[in-house]
Amino acid sequence: MDNTILVTGGAGFIGANFIVHFLENNTDYKVVNLDLLTYAGTLDNLVEIDNHSNYTFVQGDICDKALVEKLFKEHDFKGVIHFAAESHVDNSISGPEAFIKTNVIGTFNLLEVARQHWMSAPNLYKEGYENCRFHHISTDEVYGTLGKEGLFTEETPYAPNSPYSASKASSDMVVRSYFHTYGMNVVTTNCSNNYGPKQHNEKLIPTIIRKAITGENIPIYGDGLNVRDWLYVTDHCTGIELAYKKGIAGETYNVGGRNERNNLYIANKICELLDKMHPKVKGNYKDQITFVTDRPGHDLRYAIDATKIEDELGWKADENFETGIVKTIEWYLHKLTE
Ligand code: NAD
């Protein structure tokens, strides 16, 4: 099989959902998953494909150039789908260094090794490597914050506000430069907030569900009116697969579900569903919602205009927030209560 791809960060939330989805739909590909297994990654996310014949796991750091070179030599990758990152905004505020290392230097490292493996000169791919592609997974947070109106398009100027979004914006720029300088076949997708099975406990929706059923306060930042555009993770995975296979080299595609919801709505909705799906002995889950001091520099609103990926690549989200959240709660109830 001449189609082995490197997926980085595949033991994390989106990467794990993606690899399982991709292997199911693409029996003619082999996937090597390079993941450091930081606190955010776990092999529990990949039990479905533990013994899959087209899947290999390697524990290691994307910043370790010698390791990445060794893997390229060993597996002769024909593509890279790069998820690995430090991804939690709150952690980037308390400890930004790891974000710069992994998200910026790590991305540069992967690009550089791929370029040397695939290309002999600027704009010249080696024979047999002409279709090799580097797909960079990024976020809508690079665009900064919106007011009450407007949407992020691919033309929106970058204005990152947190060390996390600044590190992702920097990595996007390095990817962009490899297209313009070396003619490398790169594509970038900038996605809105994801939710669904396998997300780390620290993120908003798993926190709301976990705190609710353990009877703790459900913390909501500030007034709870910050808006995100929520996308169910498998919809992101189909967008990535389409952009990887059909996207135009050098282009970026915004991925978002047109599902703007504020944090308070999300907490209330989850509480209402839990009242039905996992009732409390006494009272309602909403009684546990508490407001806590806002995150410094908290962006007010993100919302994506997904017209380009919809029109040009035929992508469409299958779930809306109200359908996806039921599936998500079911998954966490199973994980947390059984
Ligand atoms: P995650 O934190 O759940 O997973 C990140 C994975 O990367 C983990 O398995 C971790 O072990 C691994 N990793 C971290 N540092 C590494 C290193 N130096 N070398 C190798 N592996 C390393 O993140 P996620 O939510 O799955 O996000 C995946 C990608 O999608 C990230 O690039 C993120 O910026 C982007 N993204 C996420 C969202 C979201 O809502 N979660 C939205 C848009 C874009």
When comparing pLDDT for 70 and 299, which is higher? 70
Q: Establish whether residue 35 lines the binding site of ligand 1, counting it when its CB lies within 6 angstroms of any ligand atom.
A: yes
User: Nearest 5°: phi and psi at 318?
Assistant: -85, -30
CB atoms within 10 A of CB 297: 12
Residue 242 domain flag: yes
> d(Cα 30, Cα 75) in Å, to the nearest integer?
10
- Angle of helix 65-75 relative to helix 107-118, nearest 10 degrees, comes to 40
Looking at ligand 1, which atom is closest to the CA of residue 38? Answer: 11
Q: Establish whether residue 45 lines the binding site of ligand 1, counting it when its CB lies within 6 angstroms of any ligand atom.
A: no
Summarize the confidence of residues 283-302 as an average pLDDT: 93
Q: How far is CA 48 from CA 16, 19, 43, in A?
A: 10, 10, 10
Residue 149 domain flag: yes
User: pLDDT tens across 51-96, in order?
Assistant: 999 999 999 999 999 999 999 999 999 999 999 999 999 999 999 9
The residue nearest atom 4 of ligand 1, judged by CA position, is 12
- Residue 124 CA to ligand 1 center (angstroms) comes to 31
Summarize the confidence of residues 246-270 as an average pLDDT: 97
Residue 227 domain flag: no
> d(Cα 43, Cα 323) in Å, to the nearest integer?
27
Residue by residue, DSSP assigns 24-56 as HH-TT-EEEEEE---TT--GGGGGGGTT-TTEE
Question: Which ranges constitute the DSSP H helices of the chain?
Answer: 13-25, 65-75, 89-94, 97-99, 107-118, 163-182, 204-213, 233-246, 263-277, 307-313, 321-337
Give the total number of structural domains in the chain: 1
Percent of the chain with pLDDT over 70: 100
Rounded to the nearest integer, the mean pLDDT of the chain is 96
CATH number at residue 80: 3.40.50.720
Q: Establish whether residue 11 lines the binding site of ligand 1, counting it when its CB lies within 6 angstroms of any ligand atom.
A: yes
Instruction: Tell me how far apart the terminal alpha carbons of the chain are, to the nearest angstrom.
Output: 40
User: pLDDT tens across 122-170, in order?
Assistant: 999 999 999 999 999 999 999 999 998 999 999 999 999 999 999 999 9
- Residue 84 CA to ligand 1 center (angstroms) comes to 5
Q: How far is CA 299 from CA 87, 90, 228, 232, 302, in A?
A: 16, 12, 9, 21, 8
What's the domain range around 127? 4-193+232-257+303-318
Mutate to test the pocket of ligand 1, among 20, 80, 87 (most ligand atoms within 8 A of CB): 87
Percent of the chain with pLDDT over 90: 95
- Residue 287 CA to ligand 1 center (angstroms) comes to 33
Lowest mean pLDDT among 154-158, 280-284, 310-314: 280-284
Mutate to test the pocket of ligand 1, among 6, 13, 140 (most ligand atoms within 8 A of CB): 13
Q: Locate tokens 């059984």: which residue?
A: 338
Q: Locate tokens 């500030």: which residue?
A: 222
Model pTM score: 0.97
Residue 271 domain flag: no
User: pLDDT tens across 98-108, in order?
Assistant: 999 999 999 99
Looking at ligand 1, which atom is closest to the CA of residue 62? Answer: 19
Residue 265 domain flag: no
Residue 159 domain flag: yes
When comparing pLDDT for 61 and 297, which is higher? 61
Q: Establish whether residue 201 lines the binding site of ligand 1, counting it when its CB lies within 6 angstroms of any ligand atom.
A: no
Report, as residue numbers or ranges, the catalytic residues. Answer: 140-141, 164
When comparing pLDDT for 72 and 257, which is higher? 72
Structure tokens of 135? 């797909």
Whether the per-residue pLDDT at 1 is higher than 70: the answer is no
- CA angle 124/116/59 to nearest 5° reads 140
The residue nearest atom 44 of ligand 1, judged by CA position, is 139
Residue 332 domain flag: no
Q: Establish whether residue 304 lines the binding site of ligand 1, counting it when its CB lies within 6 angstroms of any ligand atom.
A: no
The residue nearest atom 35 of ligand 1, judged by CA position, is 138
Residue 219 domain flag: no
Summarize the confidence of residues 301-307 as an average pLDDT: 95
pLDDT of residue 338: 77
Q: Establish whether residue 206 lines the binding site of ligand 1, counting it when its CB lies within 6 angstroms of any ligand atom.
A: no
pLDDT of residue 326: 98
User: pLDDT tens across 179-213, in order?
Assistant: 999 999 999 999 999 999 999 998 999 999 999 99
Summarize the confidence of residues 298-307 as an average pLDDT: 93
Q: Establish whether residue 106 lines the binding site of ligand 1, counting it when its CB lies within 6 angstroms of any ligand atom.
A: yes
Q: What's the DSSP call for residue 203?
A: S
- Residue 260 CA to ligand 1 center (angstroms) comes to 22
